[in-house]
Structure 1
Amino acid sequence: MVDQMQKTLTEIFSALLRLLTGPDYELRRRSLISISKLRGDMAADLIFERYQSDNLEDYLVLAVSRMDPKKSAPILISALSDMHLEARLTAAETLIKQRSEESVSALIATVEAYLKEEVAGKKENLLAEEALQGIVRALGGIATPMCLALLRKLILQEKNERVRATVVGVLGQHINDSMIPMFQGLLSDKDPRVQANAIEALGNLNKNTTVGILQPYLYDSNPRVKANAVKAIFRFGDFDVSSTLKEMLASHEKNLRVSAIYAIGEIKLEPYFKNLLGYMKDGDPDVRRNAVVALRKFQKKDFAIQLIPMLDDPAPEVRLQAAIGVGELYQEQGVQPLLKRLEKEPAPHIRSNLATIIGKYGKEEHFPLLLPFLNDEDDRVIGNVIEALQKLKPKQPHSGAVTSLRRFLDSSNNRIRANAIRVLWEWGFTDVLDALLKLISGDSPETIMSGMYCIGEVFSLVSHENGNMLKTFDGILKTAVEEHRKKFIAKGGAIGDSKVRGLWESSQSAIKAGKLKDARKLLEQILKVSPNLHQVFVALGELSLREGALDEAETNFLRALSISPNILKAHYALGQIYHRKREWLKAINSLQVSIRLYPKLPQAYLILAEAFEMENRWQESAETLKRLSSLVPKNLQVLQRLTRSISLAGAVGDAIPVARAAAAIGPVDAFTMLIMAVGEHFSGASDKGFVNLMGVLGMLAEKPDGRSLADTNRLSKIFQGLISRKGKAPVPG
């Protein structure tokens, strides 16, 4: 049985390594995620090597989250000087936990680069909204004076409301007296989320002097703002909180009543307990739901009896909150009423949540009572039932459960199959590896992805046990990697010789220290010993690119790709080179390959769009910018570029709402303003259109721009044609 397991594992690792070097981004990423869950020395080395050649910041995240930080540190330190902004950012964020000076400095430098504006108002560096919010939280976690100053600067410069609200919330955790004027100013912000977070921040000062500042917001028109004012003020005393709550509860406006009930739960105001019981019988499900949530937040077991009848409420969202409350307050005692509800619950999403709650608070005695629910018709329910069974399972295999779980090994649902494998593996059934090998050996990408996901779960279990099994797995992986490297070295694609590895590491240290001439000499020494190492050609290409030697850089990157055709760094660098050389068709090809290999690189989309524009391929430029806009939403530069491309593609009607979205963020360029003027004209607001048109003329007169003038001239001819059609509005394309 052991020999069969080792044989199967060898084949699994060989398959994963083949996928790891393939052209499909998702399969490469998933294969490395699976391997990263095996927390052995070989997995760490493999991830570091793969990072150096592929450079996807996703790998950094998974390496740090699933491996020993000491083993992942070299990856992160190496990435701090990477050519890609996203890689530097992610490396710095994850190193924050280690609080090294190097990582903190890198994160600050990345943020400063983002905040820096070019002369034409264009940002040099683009960041996805989630990445920027990650920066904000990282800065708040470090909380040095420099980090807090950057957060204050972000509040002033950032236009994205969600990001600004996040900044206010994070900075509010570190509020001091010197920040009071700034937060007072934010109380007048146009976005209620920012206002509400500013109120909460001022409450964090824990000084009764803030009561006078916050009291006017008890009478604000926005329910969320009022509710947060109630929360912030009540810690110092009543100060009209009770009267405000009474008014809100008596209001005919539902949102005010719902917000008041939320506030009661937050401040745990027991005199309103009877009010909550009354609102649990309200005719509106939103009111009942918030009343249940508020009652739960009191965290008093005596109150749980009031929640059990709500398990039969007609509204699904109320039943769900009641189930959560019964579980939290009654815990093990709440399992029986929850099982009873599970038998008759019609909503699949609530059945799945009931199973999860039972698994959290149940005991081994409840294990057989859950088995019948494996026959549920909904996959979400089955997946959650298996997870609950895993938590409640006895030490020895339950024959009925084993039979039921084995039938899920052929399930088309990834999560169900993975959960079933998990339980069977923990009971000692190692033959599940055979089923997984079959999955990743097929031709369907979806099936392969599913198999790798399940393999990762097995690796995670083995790592968690951290015993002889982990050593066995890591040893088999090491053998598989060595065999894979032998094949790769034969093609010149991997660093195998210890002397070569030493030269390589010295060259990387020289690059990091800014000693580029020394680095070049070391890299050239490597080529004398191993003339076909793609990593060396990529490194030489990057050095040439830094020095502006575009032809030499191009030659090196092309040489690297002739050895290994799926190197993201080389394709992206070639795209940049061809863009600078104005070889647009070559730039388009290289950048499209870069995006196919790694679809999350904002700068690649930006220069690809420009290459399309230079070839007058406006429709393709617009499609590229639309994809970029989904990565970096509410970015002024991207929206203006998108407005331009859509318009010059002939779909003026589609460009108008994009132009308006850009104008809502900040001052726009002449072209975007011209599109807005057209929109105002055809929507019947000719006066506004005329004002915008005068603004365009003013911009062009003050700062003549050949490209803008040419585009405007072309667009004006389109508009003349539209207007000549007796005022018909432009039709969306």
Structure 2
Amino acid sequence: MNKLYEVIKMLNSKDYYVKQYALDALRKFDSFLPSCVAELLDFFVRETDSSFKSAVLKLFTQKKLTGHFDFFAANVENCDYVVKIAFFDYIGETVETSAKEYLINTFYKENNPRIRSKIVKTVSCLLKSSESFHIEKETIFDFLNDADARVRANACSIKSDFGNIIIKAEYKKLLSDSSSRVVADAAIALYNSGDKSVAHYIEEKLGLASNDGEKSSLLYAMGKIKSETAYPVIQKYLRDASHDVRRNAIISAGALKLKESIADLLDLYFIEQKECRENLSKILGALKAIDEFDSTMAILDMLNGSAEDSFKRATLVKVLAHFASSDMAHYIVSYLDDTDERVRANAVEAICFLKEREAVGSDFVVKNLLVSMCDTNSRVVANSVRALYAAGVVSVISVLREMLLSNTESVRDAARHVVSYFPEGLVTING
């Protein structure tokens, strides 16, 4: 606890960075004594910087420090929207059901659309988290008919009585909304209430969509609706010209969890790898969401059939590292002897990533990568230095320093590429 008090006292500093350090450090403590909570509340009142006020609220939210709704409500009135939004997060995450009147009153008097839409999202969160929290249907109607599309969209996630014909009619009306996001969220709400007909409606509407924003929103809805006919429709948009459209198609394909989409997603990975690369992480996430084991088997099958395609091998070796267990690590090791330098370099990176995932230990890295330090390709050597250093072989840093001083540009480039993975200043070359 002495350490906690030391950090708390740093909040009294006049130095911006000291206070920033203190607030970051406080997130690592598991619990706070009442006296420490009091110090944080005092800091919140006297601090004028919005980022620090927001940080305090985020800390209270993270640590679930409940019972301070009245205090914050009295002290955020004159704060900017960033602080207020952090306060609404606190209300929702700590399930402050006593905040109902405050939320509704603030919604009606507030002009900032970001704050108003956040209030609606907070109300939705409270309705899902607490059976004792209720809201009048007239208020829900006001949310659903608000002039701001963000408010209407967030209102669609509110837990409502769809057995009430009037309420259901309000949601159905939003299927013709001018905002595609509102249409998508209304469709999701109706589908989850048991109205399965909206699935076909969204599929048809997607076919008529004229802009990327509309396509993206409707694809998002299809991933949430998960109808039996959804994937053939989504599949077409995996090759759309817009990376935003492709992203939502990828996410929705993952949400459907259909094993037939694994091959399509892996094929798309190769295309994205050659082009913008913006959706690579989304594809990996979708593959994991579908089934990690089946995705791994599909990757291995593709690797076994890639003898004539070195680009494909190099790509798949790195992809495999995101899925492989310790039992499969030897398979990646076999590519350290590949005839193609890109494959070898990627195999080294893959082993490094396995170490980061804790799928293999330091001994495995050292045993298999020391020989790669003698590779004829500078990228393979540089990647090996990075992996071995991470495994505890600190002496290899001298090799990287020598590479940075090389007269050969490709050697220097390979070294520069991995420098960012080392502690700042460790491989600085004087002169």
Q: Give the TM-score of the pair, scaled to structure 2.
A: 0.67
Equivalent residues of 2:234, 2:249 under 8 A apart: yes
Is residue 428 from structure 1 mapped to residue 364 from structure 2 by the alignment? yes
Letter of the 1:213 partner, please give it.
T
Alpha-carbon distance between aligned partners in 1 of 2:167 and 2:341, rounded to the nearest angstrom: 59
Is residue 192 from structure 1 mapped to residue 119 from structure 2 by the alignment? no
Alignment of 1:36-75 (within 5 A): none
Change in Cα spacing, 1:175 to 1:154, as seen in structure 2 (3 Å) is farther
Alignment of 1:537-552 (within 5 A): none
Specify the SS of the correspondent of 1:197: helix
Change in Cα spacing, 1:186 to 1:404, as seen in structure 2 (3 Å) is farther
Is residue 397 from structure 1 mapped to residue 331 from structure 2 by the alignment? yes
- Cα offset for 1:279? 2.0
Alpha-carbon distance between aligned partners in 2 of 1:318 and 1:393, rounded to the nearest angstrom: 37
Alignment of 1:228-267 (within 5 A): 228-232=154-158, 234-235=160-161, 237-238=163-164, 240-251=166-177, 253=178, 256-266=179-189
Report the equivalent of 1:105. 35
- Cα offset for 1:320? 2.4
Change in Cα spacing, 1:328 to 1:214, as seen in structure 2 (3 Å) is closer
Alpha-carbon distance between aligned partners in 2 of 1:233 and 1:368, rounded to the nearest angstrom: 45
Change in Cα spacing, 1:278 to 1:211, as seen in structure 2 (3 Å) is same
Equivalent residues of 2:156, 2:189 under 8 A apart: no
Q: Work out which of the residue numbers 32, 36, 56 in structure 2 matches 1:135.
A: 56
Report the equivalent of 1:210. 136
Report the equivalent of 1:694. none
Equivalent residues of 1:311, 1:323 under 8 A apart: yes
CA RMSD after TM alignment = 4.2
Report the equivalent of 1:349. 278
Q: Work out which of the residue numbers 102, 106, 122 in structure 2 matches 1:201.
A: 122
Report the equivalent of 2:85. 165
Alpha-carbon distance between aligned partners in 1 of 2:100 and 2:228, rounded to the nearest angstrom: 40
Equivalent residues of 1:364, 1:394 under 8 A apart: no
Letter of the 1:80 partner, please give it.
I
- Unaligned runs of 5+ residues in structure 1 are 1-72, 118-122, 456-733
Letter of the 2:302 partner, please give it.
L
Greater CA radius of gyration, 1 or 2?
1
Alignment of 1:231-630 (within 5 A): 231-232=157-158, 234-235=160-161, 237-238=163-164, 240-251=166-177, 253=178, 256-266=179-189, 268-269=192-193, 270-281=196-207, 282-299=209-226, 303-344=230-271, 347-351=276-280, 353-355=282-284, 357-358=286-287, 361=292, 362-364=295-297, 366-370=299-303, 375=311, 385=319, 387-388=321-322, 390=324, 394-398=328-332, 400-403=334-337, 407=341, 418-423=349-354, 428-430=364-366, 432=369, 435=385, 436=389, 437-439=395-397, 442=401, 448-452=419-423
Letter of the 2:401 partner, please give it.
G
Alpha-carbon distance between aligned partners in 1 of 2:67 and 2:281, rounded to the nearest angstrom: 46
- Cα offset for 1:430? 0.5
Alpha-carbon distance between aligned partners in 2 of 1:100 and 1:309, rounded to the nearest angstrom: 53
Alpha-carbon distance between aligned partners in 1 of 2:165 and 2:58, rounded to the nearest angstrom: 33
Equivalent residues of 2:54, 2:86 under 8 A apart: yes
Q: Work out which of the residue numbers 133, 146, 155 in structure 1 matches 2:76.
A: 155
* Structure with more helix by fraction: 1
Letter of the 1:184 partner, please give it.
I
Letter of the 1:311 partner, please give it.
L
CA deviations 1:522-560 (Å, max 9, x no partner) are xxxxxxxxxxxxxxxxxxxxxxxxxxxxxxxxxxxxxxx
Change in Cα spacing, 1:366 to 1:393, as seen in structure 2 (3 Å) is farther
Alpha-carbon distance between aligned partners in 1 of 2:396 and 2:334, rounded to the nearest angstrom: 25
Letter of the 2:250 partner, please give it.
A
Alpha-carbon distance between aligned partners in 2 of 1:392 and 1:335, rounded to the nearest angstrom: 22
Equivalent residues of 1:230, 1:263 under 8 A apart: yes
Equivalent residues of 1:374, 1:385 under 8 A apart: no
Alpha-carbon distance between aligned partners in 1 of 2:161 and 2:72, rounded to the nearest angstrom: 27
Report the equivalent of 1:181. 101
Equivalent residues of 1:202, 1:210 under 8 A apart: no
Alpha-carbon distance between aligned partners in 1 of 2:162 and 2:120, rounded to the nearest angstrom: 14
Q: Work out which of the residue numbers 44, 53, 56 in structure 2 matches 1:114.
A: 44
Alpha-carbon distance between aligned partners in 2 of 1:353 and 1:326, rounded to the nearest angstrom: 10
- Cα offset for 1:223? 0.5
Is residue 86 from structure 1 mapped to residue 23 from structure 2 by the alignment? no
CA deviations 1:34-75 (Å, max 9, x no partner) are xxxxxxxxxxxxxxxxxxxxxxxxxxxxxxxxxxxxxxx775
Change in Cα spacing, 1:109 to 1:133, as seen in structure 2 (3 Å) is same
- Cα offset for 1:225? 0.6
Letter of the 2:153 partner, please give it.
A
Alpha-carbon distance between aligned partners in 2 of 1:114 and 1:217, rounded to the nearest angstrom: 32
Alpha-carbon distance between aligned partners in 1 of 2:317 and 2:45, rounded to the nearest angstrom: 45
Letter of the 2:210 partner, please give it.
G
Alpha-carbon distance between aligned partners in 2 of 1:342 and 1:175, rounded to the nearest angstrom: 41
- Cα offset for 1:404? 5.1
- Cα offset for 1:259? 1.8
Change in Cα spacing, 1:183 to 1:292, as seen in structure 2 (3 Å) is same
- Cα offset for 1:222? 0.4
Specify the SS of the correspondent of 2:330: coil
